[in-house]
Every structure is written in C-alpha cells, then in structure tokens.
C-alpha cells in the first residue's frame, strides 16, 4: 500500500490532469428535432491513452429542459461528439466532465438552449449563426448560400443538416456600406449570383442608402468547397423605378411609397423581396414586390416589374430599363420569393405585405412566368410555428406528383426559447437559427 506523502514506487505512471475543450460553448436544439447540431469535445491526459478517458454530463442546471441522461457522447479518440436531446423549451447549463486515469477529472460548461417542437420535425433542419434568413441560392452538392437581411454576411450551409455555416463571407466593405443592404432576393445565372436589397425605407420610414443596392457575386466550386467572390454593384435602382413609374402616371405609387416617413411594409408601401429571370432569359429580371399591392388595397394583386437590361445594369452600371408591370392574383397576398427551375417552371412564395409575418397566411403558387397567365395555388403553408416563410431553396419538377420543396424561414422576430427575447437579439450566434423545412406540393 502506498502511504500518503511518500513518493510513488519506481516505474509507476504519473498521470496529469485531464484536459477538456468544447468546439463551442453554446449549443441550440429543438424539442423532437431530428439531427440537431452537436459539439466536438477534445480530451487528453498526459501519461494516458485517450481511449481510456470517459466523457459524460455530470450536472444540469435545469433538468426539465435537458438532464444528464439526455446528453450522449460518441467516439473513443481525442475528439468525441456530444449531442443533447431536448425535453422542453428553455435554457440549461450542462456540466461536461472528463474522467481520466488515476481518478483525475476536469470539467467545463455547455450553455444549451432548446426551442419548441414544430410540425413535421423530421422534415425540419436548423441553420444556426443567424436568425434572419432572407434569400437562398443553391450552389450544388447539397449546399446553399443564405443571406441575412440584418447584415451583409452570406453563409454556406449543408441543406440536409442542422448546424453552423461551413463558411461565411462579409461583403460590407466591398459594397462600401456600414449598414445592412437588407438583402431580400437572389437568383443565379451560370456562375453569377444576383442579390437585391429591399430598395425600401427602413421600418421607421427613413431612407437608408445601403438598402438601395443590387450586387453580384461569382461562384466557384460546389458543395462544401464553394467560394464566392465579389462582383459589381448598382445603387440607383430605386430611383430608376420611381422615375419609370412617374413617367407612366404613377400607376403603382412608387414616389409616395418611398416618401420620407412611409414604412415599407404596408399595402401602399415599397419593398422588393423577389428576384428571378424571365422565361428563357439571362437579361430580363423580374423584381417581385412585397408592397405595394395593385391596386393598393387589401385583396389587390401582387406586382412584378421586369428589368429588361438587368445584366447590363450590373455589368456596366447601365440605367435600368423596365417592361410592363405584371399583376398576379395571389388571393390578396404579395410576393415574398420567386424561383425558376431549369424547365422554366416558377414557384411563388406568397405572404402578407404586412409586418406581422407569423400570423398571416402563406401559400405556394405555380406559374409559367408568362405575363397574363394566371398562377395556380399548390399549397397553403402552416403558420403555427415560429418564423415567417421567406425563401424557396430550389424548384422541383412541378409536374411530378408529390414533388417536395424546401423553404427557409426568417425567424429574427421569433421568441425561440420562451424568454421574450427576439432571436435576432440573442447574445450568442449559436442560439440564433433559421428553420428550413420540406413540404409536399398538392
């Protein structure tokens, strides 16, 4: 027996204190979720084989949200994966402990937040790092680039998994703006992605120049290897639209909708949210308006304005030239996103012009992109879960029965964790998240 205070026998191993590090100190999950984000746990101990170390949760500050038995650690090497199964909405601090040889331990804290269950959780994924998803572009290989209307950061995600972005790009300095462009629409032609700001006033009715921005990025690579490079920008499209409307008898009230003090999200406001090219064209782009409706009364039609030289507007800064406005009956809803597939089929995400997104109706309409042709409703969308439907990832073959489409929410105004804090204002980016969900079209 080794007596206290005496040196260890010759040849005995002196084990150091174990080390324990988390890839992130904050983690978000959802009750009933499939494939929630995980964190990596890196462990070590001098004098010991890492396979002899064990990792487990040893305490929870609120077991009703997630207890120690709801924490799963997999792997046996230096890097393990830790997952949490949420029991209820809220927050808890989880103590994660590594036990090494010689009975020595070390611990750290993982701050965990769980959001409420949603409908069809098996079809839901969560893109973390930002809550205000506003436009999505497919870049192939199962990955998408997602814009945020509260910043000028573009984020690359694996669309099949919940978790943090693979990489990010902040183009604010290249755009020469200090505030957000309020990116609301995007589309891709070849290797060029076109992005548009809302072009409208801010919510208080003040003109903010950065919002009057359209710009391009160039895509290289695909999937997780996607890279984006800044292209060019144009910052007069709003003025071009107002002048065009004025020259045609102020049919759509653009001058009034952009006046000082006018909020953008009202039935006679001015707010662009959709961007896509016309059938068979790489030059004429459709600008889809959230506001105004036409006529600008509840029950009016949704508005699309074609920009017939959109490629040259971005390529050389040409003044925008517009075609005849397109008015679509979407059952009193306005246009929130517009996306075309390679077969020329369009899917319209329709929602309210008002700011109270989470309670107003949403629907999906199929269209052929031809002015004068009526869109056909394909689905009503659920509105009971947090977040407003904001973007179409890509359009499937709409002629196939049971076609499925993935949509993404803007959850910036949602109280995800039951503490009254809007998601956009959460202190930790790991707790901010937008939801992507699959729907079967009727």
Using an 8 Å Cβ cutoff, are 348 and 374 in contact? Answer: no
CB 376 within 8 A of CB 354: no
Work out the pLDDT band at 257, boundaries 50, 70, 90.
very high
Two tokens, residue 87: 């029991």
- 144-196 pLDDT, tens per residue? 999 999 999 999 999 999 999 999 999 999 999 999 999 999 999 999 999 99
Instruction: Provide the percentage of residues in the chain whose pLDDT is more than 70.
Output: 97
Report the pLDDT averaged over residues 241-254: 98
Question: Residue 346's closest CA among 395, 274, 281, 283?
Answer: 395
> Quick check: 248 and 219 in contact, CB under 8 A?
no
Q: What is the pLDDT, as a whole number, of residue 32?
A: 97
Which residue, chain included where needed, has tokens 């002629």? Answer: 399
Given this model, what pLDDT does residue 2 score? 44
Which pair of structure tokens corresponds to residue 33?
A: 């979720």
Q: What is the pLDDT of residues 184-222, one digit of tens each?
A: 999 999 999 999 999 999 999 999 999 999 999 999 999
The β-bridge relationship of strands 39-44 and 19-22 is antiparallel
Residue 156 and residue 172: Cα distance in Å, rounded? 17
Give the pLDDT score at 1: 43
Whether the model pTM is above 0.85:
yes
Tokens of 338: 């517009």
Do 110 and 91 meet the contact criterion of CB atoms below 8 Å apart? no
Residue 357 has pLDDT above 80, yes or no: no
What pLDDT digit, counting tens, does each position of 358-393 carry?
778 999 999 999 999 999 999 999 999 999 999 999
Which band of pLDDT confidence, cut at 50, 70 and 90, is reported for residue 397?
Answer: very high
Max Cα-Cα span within the chain: 100
> Cα(220)–Cα(103) distance, rounded to whole angstroms?
52
- Rounded to the nearest integer, the mean pLDDT of the chain is 96
What domains does the chain contain, in order, with CATH numbers? 19-115 (2.60.40.1080), 121-440 (2.120.10)
Q: Which range is least confidently modeled, 10-24, 114-128, 264-278? A: 10-24
Query: Rounded distance, CA 102 to CA 137, Å?
Result: 53
SS3 content of the chain, % helix, strand, coil (to 5): 10, 40, 45
| Residues 116 and 132: beta-carbon distance below 8 Å | no
User: Over pLDDT 90: what percentage of the chain?
Assistant: 95
Q: What is the DSSP string of 123-165?
A: GEEEEES-S-EEEEEEEETTEEEEEETTSSEEEEEETTS-BS-
Under 8 Å between Cβ of 409 and 132? no
Is the Cβ–Cβ distance between 431 and 421 less than 8 Å? no
Cα torsion through 394, 399, 401, 405, rounded to 10: 10
pLDDT band at residue 9 under the 50/70/90 scheme: low
Please report, to the nearest 10 degrees, the dihedral formed by the alpha carbons of residues 7, 11, 14, 15 taken in order: -150
| Closest C-alpha among 365, 442, 345, 364 to residue 403 | 442
Q: For residue range 425-438, what is the model confidence (pLDDT) as tens digits?
A: 999 999 999 999 99
3 state DSSP class of 408: strand
Alpha-carbon span 345 to 165, nearest angstrom? 29
Write down the pLDDT at residue 3. Answer: 46
């Amino acid at each position: 027996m080794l007596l206290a205070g005496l040196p260890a026998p010759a040849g005995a191993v002196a084990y150091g204190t174990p080390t324990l590090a988390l890839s992130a100190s904050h983690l978000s999950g959802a009750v009933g979720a499939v494939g929630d984000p995980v964190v990596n746990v890196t462990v070590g101990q001098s004098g010991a084989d890492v396979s002899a170390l064990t990792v487990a949760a040893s305490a929870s500050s609120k077991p009703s949200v997630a207890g120690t038995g709801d924490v799963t650690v997999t792997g046996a090497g230096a890097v393990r994966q830790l997952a949490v199964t949420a029991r209820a909405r809220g927050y808890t601090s989880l103590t994660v402990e590594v036990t090494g040889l010689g009975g020595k331990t070390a611990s750290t804290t993982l701050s965990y937040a769980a959001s409420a269950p949603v409908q069809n959780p098996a079809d839901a994924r969560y893109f973390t790092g930002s809550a205000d998803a506003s436009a999505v572009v497919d870049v192939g290989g199962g990955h998408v680039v997602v814009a945020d209307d509260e910043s000028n950061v573009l984020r690359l995600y694996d669309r099949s998994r919940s978790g943090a972005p693979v990489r990010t790009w902040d183009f604010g300095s290249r755009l020469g703006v200090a505030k957000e462009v309020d990116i609301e629409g995007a589309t891709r032609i070849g290797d060029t992605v076109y992005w548009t700001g809302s072009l409208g006033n801010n919510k208080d009715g003040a003109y903010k120049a950065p919002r009057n921005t359209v710009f391009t990025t160039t895509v290289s690579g695909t999937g997780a290897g996607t890279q984006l490079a800044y292209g060019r920008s144009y910052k007069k499209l709003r003025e071009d639209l107002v002048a065009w409307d004025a020259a045609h008898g102020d049919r759509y009230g653009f001058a009034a909708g952009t006046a000082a003090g006018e909020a953008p999200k009202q039935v006679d406001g001015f707010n662009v949210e959709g961007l896509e090219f016309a059938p068979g064209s790489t030059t004429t782009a459709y600008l889809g308006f959230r506001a105004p409706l036409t006529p600008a009364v509840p029950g009016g039609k949704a508005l699309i304005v074609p920009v017939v030289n959109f490629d040259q507007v971005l390529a050389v800064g040409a003044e925008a030239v517009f075609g005849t406005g397109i008015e679509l009956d979407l059952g009193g809803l306005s246009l929130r996103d517009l996306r075309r597939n390679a077969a020329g089929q369009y899917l319209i995400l329709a929602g309210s012009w008002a700011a109270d997104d989470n309670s107003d109706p949403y629907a999906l309409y199929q269209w052929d992109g031809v002015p004068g042709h009526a869109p056909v409703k394909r689905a009503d969308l659920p509105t009971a879960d947090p977040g407003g439907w904001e973007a179409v990832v890509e359009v499937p073959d709409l002629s196939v029965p049971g076609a499925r489409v993935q949509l993404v929410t803007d959850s910036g105004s949602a109280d995800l964790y039951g503490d009254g804090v809007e998601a956009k204002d959460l202190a930790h980016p790991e707790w901010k998240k937008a939801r992507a969900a699959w729907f079967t079209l009727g």
